[in-house]
């Protein structure tokens, strides 16, 4: 399954990633980082499209896409 | 999520590929920009472009005045500061003294289209081999939301309390179109940073804006419509929406001049990659 990782101390809680996600799986988490910005969280199946990361002004998102298993489907 | 796990999370598991990462040209430092400010996206695009073109080690950035004053802190390239609109003039000197360097300026609308209009237009008209990234957010950001030359008609700012009025303050300046009319300009385009698709287009245009300089064709100009949630008094998502609904109809997106394609269509042959 594809996934994203938030670098939470870089996040400024702007929510542009939430608006950019085409499958609507991002939402505000109710948790805050050291700077007092509200962090986002993922709830659902990520497609690894990287839309959130493309719109993130603070380069706070890393995207991992699952590659199609070839011979060793584990 | 506890931070000690972060390192572990950032390691691609079996069957996974890291498809979005930062790039080495962008410094790790957190920017001072407000939450949701599109400067961050523009910075990332510049960093990625320089990295992909492989020219970062010989790039010299000329920073401007405004919110982008500290730009030199956010890129791992050499940089200098040219306050109050003189970035293109300084960049001219840098590029002429160091012909092997890739020189770019990063300027906002107050800097480039108001106080630095003369320097910018003349550098462009001379066809200086530099690239300018022009951030158009229709307002003076750093100084507190005053009217910029690009402020939309009817837009309320701290110096246009009843909205900008054509008879009193004139209309918004369309810098990309003005640049396209100058002979020295090799590439002039306007893109927006409000959506994923527009950001992708901006990336492509930015690459060309740098390539025309590197190939010695002339001045590269890229205008980026970006949001200023703080001075627009909006949340970041609403600011992105404003770009799409209010700005793009006034500032049409597109490439207004591209000497690269003109050249290749004239010779009717392949143009360099």
Residue B271's pLDDT is what?
Answer: 44
What local confidence, expressed as pLDDT, does residue B5 receive? 84
Reduced to 3 states, what is the DSSP secondary structure of residue A51? helix
Q: Tens of pLDDT along A5-61?
A: 999 999 999 999 999 999 999 999 999 999 999 999 999 999 999 999 999 999 999
> What is the ipTM for the molecules in this complex?
0.91
User: What is the domain partition of chain B in residue ranges?
Assistant: 31-144+174-267
Task: Dump strand ranges (E) for B212-259.
Answer: 219-225, 254-258
* Per-residue confidence (pLDDT) for residue B261, from 0 to 100: 87
| Disruptive mutation site among A13, A14, A20 for chain B (greatest number of B CBs within 10 Å) | A14
| pLDDT for residue B4 | 56
Residue of B126, B104, B105, B106 whose CA lies nearest to B55: B104
Report the residue of chain B nearest A68, measured CA to CA.
Answer: B15
CA distance A44 to chain B (A): 17
Which pair of structure tokens corresponds to residue B40? 């961050």
Alpha-carbon distance of B96 to A15, in angstroms, equals: 43
Q: How far apart are CA B78 and CA B238, in angstroms?
A: 36
Per residue in B81-131, pLDDT (tens digit) is 998 999 999 999 999 999 999 999 999 999 999 999 999 999 999 999 999
Give chain A's radius of gyration (CA, Å).
Answer: 13
What is the structure's pLDDT at B269? 47
pTM for the model: 0.92
Give yes or no for A36 touching B (CB within 8 A).
Answer: no
pLDDT of residue B262: 80
Residue contact B6–A7, C-beta within 8 A: yes
End-to-end CA separation in angstroms for chain A:
12
**Confidence at residue B156, expressed as pLDDT on a 0 to 100 scale:** 95
Residues of A in contact with B21 (CB under 8 A): 62
pLDDT at A71: 62
Instruction: Write down the architecture of domain B31-144+174-267 according to CATH.
Output: 3-Layer(aba) Sandwich (3.40)
**Does A65 lie at the interface with B, CB-CB under 8 angstroms?**
yes
- Nearest by CB to B237, which of A10, A15, A58? A15
Pick out chain B residues at pLDDT < 70: 1-4, 264-273
Going through B9-162 in order, the beta strands assigned E by DSSP cover 16-20, 59-63, 78-81, 102-108, 131-136
């Amino acid at each position: 399954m594809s996934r994203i990782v938030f670098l939470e101390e870089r996040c400024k809680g702007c929510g542009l990633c939430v608006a950019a996600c085409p499958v609507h799986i991002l939402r505000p988490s109710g948790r805050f980082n050291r700077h007092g910005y509200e962090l986002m969280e993922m709830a659902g199946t990520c497609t690894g499209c990287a839309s959130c990361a493309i719109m993130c002004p603070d380069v706070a998102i890393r995207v991992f896409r699952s590659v199609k298993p070839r011979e060793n489907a584990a | 999520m506890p931070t000690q796990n972060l390192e572990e999370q950032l390691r691609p598991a079996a069957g996974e590929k890291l498809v979005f990462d930062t790039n080495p040209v962008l410094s790790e430092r957190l920017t001072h920009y407000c939450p949701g400010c599109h400067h961050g996206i523009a910075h990332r695009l510049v960093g990625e472009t320089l990295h992909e073109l492989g020219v970062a080690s010989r790039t010299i950035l000329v920073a401007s005045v405004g919110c982008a004053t500290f730009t030199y802190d956010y890129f791992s390239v050499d940089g200098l500061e040219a306050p109050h609109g003189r970035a293109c003039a300084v960049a001219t000197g840098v590029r002429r003294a160091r012909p092997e360097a890739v020189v770019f300026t990063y300027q906002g609308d107050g800097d480039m289209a108001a106080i630095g209009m003369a320097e910018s237009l003349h550098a462009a008209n001379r066809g200086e081999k530099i690239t300018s990234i022009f951030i158009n957010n229709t307002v003076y950001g750093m100084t507190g939301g005053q009217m910029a030359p690009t402020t939309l008609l009817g837009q309320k700012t701290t110096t246009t309390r009843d909205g900008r009025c054509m008879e009193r303050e004139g209309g918004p300046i369309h810098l990309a179109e003005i640049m396209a009319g100058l002979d020295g300009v090799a590439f002039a385009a306007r893109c927006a940073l409000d959506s994923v698709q527009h950001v992708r287009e901006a990336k492509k245009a930015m690459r060309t804006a740098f390539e025309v300089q590197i190939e010695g064709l002339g001045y590269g100009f890229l205008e980026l419509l970006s949001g200023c949630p703080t001075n627009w008094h909006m949340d970041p998502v609403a600011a992105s929406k404003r770009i799409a609904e209010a700005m793009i109809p006034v500032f049409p997106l597109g490439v207004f001049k591209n000497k690269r394609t003109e050249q290749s269509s004239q010779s009717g042959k392949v143009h360099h990659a």
